Structures are given as C-alpha cells and as structure tokens.
Amino acid sequence: MNKLTSIIRYSLLACFLSTVHAIAAQPGGQSVANAPQQSADVSQQRELFKKAEYAARRGRIAEYNQLLAQLENYPLKPYLELERLQQIGYLANEDRVVSFLEQYKGTPLDWQLRQPWLDYLAKQGEYQRFIRDFRHPGTLTHQCYLIEAERARGLQDGPFIRKVDAIWRHGFSVPSACDGILNEWADLGARTKDKVWQRLVLAAEDGNPTLIPYLTSLLPNKEQYLGDLYYKVRYSPAAIGQLSRFRGVDAAKEAQIATFALTKLIWRAEELALKAYERLVSRLPFTAAQRHRIAEEFAVALSLKEHPEARVWHQKVPPSELDERVLQWRLAAYLRDHDFAALKMTIQTLPPAISGGNQWQYWLARAMEETGDKLNANKIYSELAKERHYYGFLAAARIGAPVSLEKDPVKATQTQITTLLERDDVKRAYEFLQLGRDVDARREWNHLLSDIDGEAFKTAAVIASDWGWHDQAIWTLAQIGHFDAVEIRFPMAYSEIINLSSEKYGIDPAWAMAITRRESSFRADAYSGAGARGLMQILPGTAKLLRNDDSFKRLNTPEVNVALGTYYLSRLKERFDGNHVLATAAYNAGYYKVKDWLPSEPTALDEWVEMIPYYETRDYVKAVLSYQQIYELLNGKEVNLFDAFATMRVKDD
C-alpha cells in the first residue's frame, strides 16, 4: 500500500517537477550533450511507461504485455517487471523472481522485490530458499527470520547464541518475528544478568525507557532496585538527590546510574546537580571515565547558563578528553569574560591537530591582537585570509586584505562523461528525473555512488550539475571532500526567481541565495523532520502567518516558496534594525530566541556568534555568511561583507 501510494503521488507531481527542473536548468543547467543517449520517441516511451505501470497495477495483463513490447530498450522497463513480480512473486514464479534478483542484485530494484519475497518465504517456512536468497544486512525482522531458518537447518548452539546476542543488544523493542529465537536463546541459559543489564542501560540512556520495567523483572531480586532507579532518573534526574535510593548492593552500577542522572540534571537544575555531585562523589566509586563524562557535561551546561563555576569545571576536563563541544564552550566562556590572555594560553596548549584549525588560529590571532601582540596576530590573519572560509573572510577583514575564492574547477573529459552516461543506473536516474520521481532518481544515483571511485565522483558531479540536479551535484562532491569546485557547489540556481523576489522585498539577492543554498541545496521538494518545505524551508505555520491565502499548500512551488522566504527575511531584518546577521540567526532559530541571546553589554559580532547557544544556529550563521560572500564574489562584486563585522557590536535594547 505504501509503495502504491508513493507511485501515485509521484505520478501526480510529474508535470510540476518537470517544470522545476526546467527552471533549474539555467546557465549551468541541464545539458542535452550530457544526457544519456535516447531514441527520438523517448517522450512517447515515457507516456507508454506510465500507462504500462498503471495497467500492471490494475492487473490488465493483455494491455500491459502490449505496452511492454513497445518499451524494449527503455531504461525503466525493469521497474515494470518489478511491478508484475511483486504481484505474482510466489513459488510458482520462483525462477522469474530469482532471475530478477540475480540480474539486479545490489541495485534499488533488488530490495524492492527481495523484501516481500523473503517475507513470503519466511511465512511459508521455506527455510532453505530463505537462506539462499537473504542478503546482508536486511531488516532486523529478516535477520531474525534468517537465524530461525539457520536453526531449523541445524545451526549449533554456540553460533546460534552469538547471533541472537546481536539481536538482543538493542535499546528498543525488537520485532515480534524475533520472539521465537529469543525465547529459545533464553531457554538455553544465554540470557545472563550481564546481558540484561547491558540492554537495560541501552534502553535507559539511548533507547525506549518503557522497556526498563520488563528488563528489571529479569534481574535477580536483590538487584531489581537498580532497574527501578534507572527508570526513575530517566524521567526525573533529581531523584538521585535521595541517597537512600543507593543501597550499596552494586556500587559500580549505582555510579553508572548516577553518572547518567547527573549529566541530565545539570541541564534542568544546575545548583541541585552541583550539590548532588558533592554528596555522591565520596559515596560512589566513579571511574575516571565517568568523572570525565560528568566534567564535560557540567562544563558545557554551566557555560551555556553563564554560571560562575563554568571555568572551574572546564579545568576538570583533561586535555586528552577535550572534544569540539567542550572546546567551543570553553571559548565562549573566555569571550564572555573578555579573558583573552587565558584564551591565548589555552589555544597554545592544545594539540597541534586542534590548534591548527581555522577557528582556533583565528581566535589565537584575536587573542594576540587584544593582548598587544599585533605583529604575530597579523601574520596569522594573513595566512588565514587565503582560505575560502568563514574565519578566512573574518581574518581578511581584520587586516584589510582581499578575500579569496580559491577555486579548483572539476574537470571531466567527454570520454569520462560518456562512460558514466552509458551506465544503466545513470539512465534510470535520468528518466526518473524527467518523470518527476525524485526519490526513485536519488535511489539510483546513490547506487551509482556506491559503485564508483573518487575520480568518477567528480564526473558524476559534473553530470548532475549539467542536469540541473544541484543538490545531488553538491552531495556527490561532498562525498569525496572536494570543496573547491565553487561553480558546482554554489550554482546560480533559480537566480531569476530569487533576484526578482529579493528586489521586491529590498534584500541582498546573494543573502537569499545563500539561505537557499544552506536550507535545501536548491532541492525544490526538500522536506525536513520539523515539517519545513521547499527551497527556503518554510514551515506551513510560518507561511500562514506571512500570507493569508493558500500559499502554505504550495510550498514546493519555487516561486511561492522564494516569495515567502525573501519576505520573511526582509521582516526579520527590519525587526533587527537592519542587522542581517541577527536576521540570519532568527531565520533558523526564531526571532524571540535570538532576542533572548542578545547580550546586555555591547559585544563584538564575531564574539557573539561564537556564544550562540544552539550549535545548529551557530554553524548555520557561519555557513550562510560565508555562502553570501562567495555568491557576491561569483557575481563579480569584489567586496568583503565581513568588513562591517570587524567593528559591529550587538546589544539587547
């Protein structure tokens, strides 16, 4: 049913998305030369394909066969065969099913037939056939079916127990298909109390806590209080304040529970967490790793809350345990205190692999500049200014140096392009794009990427870019870390729509382009987990507030989405008195959140950005500002937008 619904939905969207691809295919858009070789009647074949697919789904076999005969060399013909085999894939047609699975093994066609075929074999008890046709990793359900099949075919106790151990080690409920092997595994005595505890910890800390009562019941009676305590602190970390809950039966496990609870409590009630730690540290045998975990979480949480003990806890984190999150908030703590001397000393003591990064080099230079060592500061700025990066642009602004675009275009020969275009998965991806079935196209493209090497990735990116498939071109280059192909990674996609709408609402088109690049990578059908949609990722609720019409229903339409996004940006900028950096942060986190983050005293803009509490928003602002600068340069404007940031201050009014 899900597949049928999906196919119908994408069929309805075909006409619209074909228009989207036509719009995207501006200069640098779809190139006929870089499309797969096609027959003159390819448009007719696409229509015949849709009719054949519909006939297959409706069981009109004579009509289906007649249409199929006219699609002999059409790239998507295997999907018609898939449709029929999904409907008749029983033992009577075993040869056809097995042949299809072998022919398309590893492709997106494979699993769409293999999954229902394996389900059928498992339900029929066809264990030998199931083992023959299973392919790793499969779903958890199929993994359990496989173990059941292997057990029925004579799998010995030892290997059986080891395989079921892997199924047991999940912090979530496992499928009912696993019940049989889990019961047999338990009957063999393999469900030890250590394995029960291991799963209980997974459920409590990273999984489904509703499993905890069941797992607690499997522990020895005298240890069941530990499961009860884990369950309690999972929902109410403050419960660790009652020392009577720690009975001392297993102090090591109690320390494990307390560590988890403290790292949660510090975010909810910092004073209570600090007091609880002082009472528990002499009572429980915390390991060094547990103490470090607590110190890290306390340091970050207290820094974010601007607590006076934040720096004390930062000092408790040993250098060997420093990670990006802890270092970010150590930086924020120094900036909040304007303690550039301590910041300088800290950076200089970091391992070279960390201190040599762009962020830390920039702040080392800033700390040197603030403490009077301007000569060495400028040396670092000069090197950083050569980088096409947020900190490189900031460094260039500090010394008045020109900004660097640092381009390294991707090159592909016609032979390399032709070689990829002749692949079946590329042909299928292209056809799905023309039909407006982007999800199916991406599946085929991902198969291509799984089957080529690094050099071919560059050619694939060139092809995707020429098709106007910008999000996949960007993604493809990201897989091999090729970030200097600026024209492909920062295309002028939808430029006419964005320029017109930006002009209408009085904002910089490069800013709107940068927001779009960050939000969706120019994917018109983008959809986030939070429900944001389209090029500029507009929430339906936001659309309703911005415009009193049915725009919220048409957020995948580029013109509608960009009009709403640019209008929203203009309103945010106006509300922040023309400060587009604050407006950028608000576009991601919301106006009132950003208002809450504004300092009471004037603060340098680069310092304020580092102190944004949400890491997602902090990274978002840095990326959008960098992208905006890149688009200005690509548009031929030799300006450094970051010049204003060197002197700009932000403050809550």
8 A C-beta contact, residue 404 and residue 390 = no
What is the pLDDT at residue 32? 53
Average pLDDT over residues 235-244: 94
501: pLDDT strictly greater than 90? yes
Distance CA 434, CA 230 (A): 54
Confidence of residue 506 (pLDDT cuts 50, 70, 90): very high
Average pLDDT over residues 327-336: 94
Distance CA 145, CA 139 (A): 10
Which tokens belong to 120? 């059928």
What is the pLDDT at residue 466? 95
Which tokens belong to 106? 């590893």
Residues with Cβ within 8 Å of 214's Cβ and at least 6 positions away in sequence, in order, are: none
pLDDT digits (tens, 9 = 90+) for 29-38: 445 557 787 6
pLDDT digits (tens, 9 = 90+) for 611-630: 999 999 999 999 999 999 99
Distance CA 70, CA 153 (A): 46
Which tokens belong to 109? 């066609």
Q: Which residues pair with 533 in a beta bridge?
A: 527, 538
Give counts: helices (H), strands (E), the chain: 37, 2
Distance CA 421, CA 460 (A): 9
8 A C-beta contact, residue 542 and residue 571 = no
Classified as helix, coil or strand, 448 is: helix
Distance CA 89, CA 85 (A): 5
Residues with Cβ within 8 Å of 227's Cβ and at least 6 positions away in sequence, in order, are: 200, 212, 213, 215, 216, 219
pLDDT digits (tens, 9 = 90+) for 512-524: 999 999 999 999 9
Average pLDDT over residues 176-201: 98
pLDDT digits (tens, 9 = 90+) for 346-368: 999 999 999 999 999 999 999 99
493: pLDDT strictly greater than 70? yes
Distance CA 22, CA 42 (A): 17
pLDDT digits (tens, 9 = 90+) for 96-140: 999 999 999 999 999 999 999 999 999 999 999 999 999 998 999
pLDDT digits (tens, 9 = 90+) for 276-325: 999 999 999 999 999 999 999 999 999 999 999 999 999 999 888 889 99
Distance CA 592, CA 462 (A): 42
The string of DSSP letters for 177-199 reads GGHHHHHHHHHTT---HHHHHHH
Catalytic residues: 519
Which tokens belong to 115? 């999954």
Distance CA 130, CA 609 (A): 56
What is the pLDDT at residue 33? 57
Confidence of residue 556 (pLDDT cuts 50, 70, 90): very high
8 A C-beta contact, residue 640 and residue 630 = no
Could you list the beta-strand ranges (E) of 508-556. Answer: none
> What's this model's pTM, rounded to 2 decimal places?
0.88
Residues with Cβ within 8 Å of 411's Cβ and at least 6 positions away in sequence, in order, are: 458
Annotate 70-82 with b (16+ C-beta within 10 A) or e (fewer). ebeebbbbbbbbb
End-to-end CA distance of the chain: 56
Calculate the average pLDDT of the chain. Answer: 92
- Rg of the chain (C-alpha set): 30
What is the pLDDT at residue 39? 61
What is the pLDDT at residue 44? 93
What is the pLDDT at residue 18? 37
Percent share of the chain, pLDDT over 90? 86
Q: Which residues pair with 604 in a beta bridge?
A: 649
Residues with Cβ within 8 Å of 347's Cβ and at least 6 positions away in sequence, in order, are: 355, 360, 363, 364, 367
Compute how many other C-beta atoms are within 10 angstroms of the C-beta atom of residue 364.
22
67: pLDDT strictly greater than 50? yes
8 A C-beta contact, residue 332 and residue 310 = no
Confidence of residue 183 (pLDDT cuts 50, 70, 90): very high
Confidence of residue 40 (pLDDT cuts 50, 70, 90): low
Q: Check whether the bond before 137 is cis (ω within 30° of 0).
A: yes
41: pLDDT strictly greater than 80? yes
Distance CA 387, CA 407 (A): 10
Q: What residue type is assigned to position 265 of the chain?
A: L
Which tokens belong to 503? 């002009």
Q: Which residues pair with 650 in a beta bridge?
A: 603
Distance CA 442, CA 471 (A): 10
Average pLDDT over residues 567-594: 97
What is the pLDDT at residue 522? 97
DSSP 3-state percent helix, strand, coil across the chain (nearest 5): 70, 0, 30
Closest C-alpha among 610, 528, 529, 624 to residue 304: 610
What is the pLDDT at residue 22? 36
pLDDT digits (tens, 9 = 90+) for 559-572: 999 999 999 999 99
Given its phi and psi angles, is residue 336 left (phi above 0), alpha (psi -120 to 50 degrees) or beta?
A: alpha
The H or E element spanning position 362 is helix 358-370
The string of DSSP letters for 299-321 reads HHHHHHTT-TTHHHHHHTS-GGG
8 A C-beta contact, residue 55 and residue 63 = yes
Distance CA 261, CA 267 (A): 10
8 A C-beta contact, residue 395 and residue 380 = yes
Closest C-alpha among 203, 196, 236, 237 to residue 217: 196
